Amino acid sequence: MAKQPQPISPLKNFFAGGFGGVCLVFVGHPLDTIKVRLQTQPKPQPGQPPLYSGTFDCFRKTLVGEGVQGLYRGMAAPIIGVTPMFAVCFFGFGLGKRLQQRNPDDVLTYPQLFAAGMLSGVFTTVIMAPGERIKCLLQIQAATGETKYSGSLDCAKQLYRESGIRGVYKGTVLTLMRDVPASGMYFMTYEWLKNILTPQGKSVSDLSVPRILFAGGLAGIFNWAVAIPPDVLKSRFQTAPAGKYPNGFRDVLRELIREEGVASLYKGFTAVMIRAFPANAACFLGFEVAMKFLNWVAPGL
């Protein structure tokens, strides 16, 4: 059985989650750029080497060709979206826990925590899908040398002008397929690790910073172990020309398996896993610090 500090406050989760999300993007965006470029690089012609031979080759070429700012390409979209997105994510998790409690002192089981995490994934898709679409397009345009979009706002305007709201939200189903199960794993793993890392007789709210970082980082790895295959499909689908995949993710999946094999569903694996630990460690540390601050300044919130 999981031991959570009581009472659960979805509203505090909302504000603390927003701060945690900002911490995550700042730490993790450079490797997210590498991940997207690896996932969306074109298939090489026969006898030709791929554009990037791997994570470190992509990192080196990006740094040499574009400087440090190339690694932070497209960060405006997730930064603008990440505060409300992670706020809603943690709010959804808090609400999911609250809805499953008959009494404020009820301790939730790990399957219940997984279900609460899945609810948070549903909540965040509304914000996440357009932000991911814009981010991916900006990240790959720098790699191809084209400059179709001058920035996040210009990208959003052009997408809306060309295809309406459906163009902005292209890839929503795949975002749901990625985030719902992955969010369940994310929060359940974090709560489980906090419990086993808490010394006997102590409260999880008193967990030390290194242990919070370890629990948050490992939760991020478990999250992405579930999320990588649908994330590869999402990145490919969201950056494809209009009409290339008329049947959605099924066409993307068939093409990838036919041309590149099952291993293609794990493109960017190294970049994702290198990013997952520090980014999510920063996220949960930011969340816990913000939660303690809110408990201090507004205990009744």
DSSP for 195-230, please give it: HHHSPTT--GGG--HHHHHHHHHHHHHHHHHHHHHH
Using alpha carbons only, how large is the chain's radius of gyration in Å?
A: 20
Domains and their CATH numbers in the chain = 9-196+204-295 (1.50.40.10)
Question: Sign of the C-alpha dihedral, residues 39, 42, 45, 50?
Answer: negative
Residue 121, CA distances (Å) to 18, 89, 93, 108, 183 in order: 15, 7, 9, 19, 5
Question: Sign of the C-alpha dihedral, residues 13, 196, 5, 289?
Answer: negative
What letter would DSSP give residue 264? G
pLDDT at position 6:
52
What letter would DSSP give residue 263? G
pLDDT at position 104:
78
pLDDT at position 2:
47
- Model's pTM, two decimal places? 0.78
What letter would DSSP give residue 2? -
Query: 11-14 long-range contacts, Cβ below 8 Å, gap at least 24?
Result: 11/91, 11/94, 11/301, 12/94, 12/291, 12/294, 12/295, 12/298, 12/301, 13/90, 13/91, 13/93, 13/94, 13/291, 14/87, 14/88, 14/90, 14/91, 14/94
For the stretch 41-72, pLDDT in tens is 877 888 888 888 888 898 898 888 888 888 88
pLDDT at position 142:
67
pLDDT at position 1:
46
Q: How far apart are CA 296 and CA 293, in angstroms?
A: 5
pLDDT at position 46:
84
Q: 257 is written with which tokens?
A: 């398996």
Q: How far apart are CA 170 and CA 135, in angstroms?
A: 13
Kindly give the parts of the chain with pLDDT less than 50.
1-2
The alpha carbon of 214 is separated from its chain's Cα centroid by a whole number of angstroms, namely 18
